Amino acid sequence: MPEMMRAVVIARYAGALEMRRCPVPRPGPGEVLVHVHASGLCSTDLHLLSGRQPLGELPRIIGHELAGEVVGLGDGVTHWQPGDRVTAAIDVTCGQCRHCRTGETQRCPTMRRIGFEIDGGHADYVTVPAANLVSVPAEISDAAAAILPDAIACMYHSLINQGKVGIGQRVLILGVGGLGIHGVQIARSAGADVLATSRRPERLALAEHYGAVPIDTSRQSLETEAASFTEGEGVDLVVDNIGTRASVRQGLSVLRPGGNCWSSATSTRPSRFPPCASSRASWRSSAAAAARSRI
Ligand SMILES: [Zn+2]
Ligand SMILES: [Zn+2]
């Protein structure tokens, strides 16, 4: 094992990412050392770099979408072996509090996140709690595995765990970027009929390819299209990946009575969204595996 490694750090906000030589971390009790084979560069990393989403102590090695190979075990780790291919859930939680015990780990009051409050995967090596590891089968590449804990887990949590999406339900996905395009596929796999919005033709084409009805909000009315799609009833579920007051308002405006609107977006502004219009719908922040609950 080398003594030193390369790492991409944020040393100061509003600067540039820096490549540094850092000591290879040693796994503590219950931790595993992972040799990183793939680490996703996420738009969230740009928010972190800007300082709009403070990380606490700097410098920090960022990178919250990682995949690699187990190369070292801390004391007490028994379920993993060197050579195991893994990815890692982002949230490091206590596992003891009421939220953790009821599957709402994203609300754990002591939660810290890999690549945010603790060092992440933009490095040759990273230490990760063994409890956060997920085994990666041989047929999934490192690059594909790396995005599982963020773009896919986040959408899965919003749509399936929280939204309870099923056959015949009507789902609106606001914004089909990195998260939304996976949301389209998950909702379709669950049997839902899906509307997807964007202003970018290539994203809409991809959403359509995966079975969504695309709405180009630069030239189409979401309200009109949603009304036509649902025979005027409104959609059952909105998943908002944009995270602005306007997008939440837009989502609420096309919900059926009793429908749900979940926001999976990162926002750096305080949450002062409008209260839901009476009985029409409910709005919640979902937050799956990552830093998405901060609105
Ligand atoms: Zn990410
Ligand atoms: Zn907890």
CATH label of the domain that carries residue 69 = 3.90.180.10
216 vs 289, higher pLDDT = 216
292 CA distance to ligand 2 middle (Å): 17
Residues 92 and 185 in one domain: no
Do 213 and 254 share a domain, yes or no? Answer: yes
Calculate the average pLDDT of the chain: 89
Q: Does 260 score more than 50 pLDDT?
A: yes
| Nearest ligand to residue 111 Cα | 2
Q: Are strands 60-61 and 4-10 parallel, antiparallel or unpaired?
A: antiparallel
The answer as to whether 291 is a domain residue is no
Q: Note the pLDDT of residue 272.
A: 55
Catalytic-role residue among 44, 87, 197, 230: 44
Counting ligands in written order, which one lies closest to the CA of residue 105?
A: 2
Does residue 200 sit within a domain?
yes
Q: Same structural domain for residues 178 and 274?
A: yes
> What's the confidence (pLDDT) of residue 266?
62
CB 116 within 8 A of CB 126: no
State which of 99, 131, 146 marks the end of a domain: 146
290: in domain: no
Predicted local confidence at residue 278, as pLDDT:
37
Indicate if the pLDDT at residue 290 is higher than 70: no
**Bridging pattern class, strands 66-73 and 85-88:** antiparallel
Provide the pLDDT confidence category of residue 268 given band limits of 50, 70 and 90.
low
Domain count, the chain: 2
Residue 119 sits in the same domain as residue 228: no
CA of 73 relative to ligand 1 center, distance in Å: 26
Do 225 and 124 reside in the same domain of the chain? no
Work out the average pLDDT over 269-278: 50
Exposure string (b/e) for 133-159, b if CB count within 10 Å is 16 or more?
A: beebeeeeebeebbbbbbbbbbbbbbb
Query: Do 93 and 204 reside in the same domain of the chain?
Result: no
Catalytic: which of 35, 37, 47, 157?
A: 47
Among the bound ligands, the one closest to the CA of 116: 1
- At 212, is the pLDDT very low, low, confident or very high (cuts 50, 70, 90)? very high
Residues 211 and 119 both lie in one domain: no
Q: What percent of the chain has pLDDT over 90?
A: 76
Q: What is the mean pLDDT of residues 138-151?
A: 95
**What is the spatial distance between Cα 267 and Cα 44, in angstroms, rounded to a whole number?**
10
Among 129, 146, 163, residue at a domain's last position: 146
Q: Does a structural domain hold residue 196?
A: yes
Give me the mean pLDDT over the 82-111 stretch: 94
Ligand 1 centroid distance, CA of 149 (Å): 8
User: 137 and 8, same structural domain?
Assistant: yes
At residue 280, does pLDDT exceed 60?
A: no
Judged by its nearest atom, the ligand closest to the C-alpha of residue 155 is 1
Map tokens 């609420």 to a residue: 252
Whether residues 94 and 38 fall in one domain: yes
| Ligand 1 centroid from CA 150, angstroms | 5
Domain of residue 15: give its range.
4-146
Give every CB contact of residue 123 below 8 A, 6+ residues apart in sequence: 5, 6, 7, 8, 22, 36, 39, 61, 63
Residue 227 Cα to ligand 2 midpoint, Å, equals 41
Extract the tokens encoding 3: 């003594």
Are residue 140 and residue 155 in the same domain, yes or no?
no
286 CA to centre of ligand 1 in angstroms: 15
Q: Rounded to the nearest whole angstrom, what is the distance from the C-alpha of residue 106 to the centroid of ligand 2? A: 8
Shared domain for 122 and 203, answered yes or no, is: no
Last residue of a domain, one of 122, 146, 170: 146
53 has a pLDDT exceeding 90: no
Known active-site residue 44: yes
219 and 161 part of one domain: yes
254 found inside a domain: yes
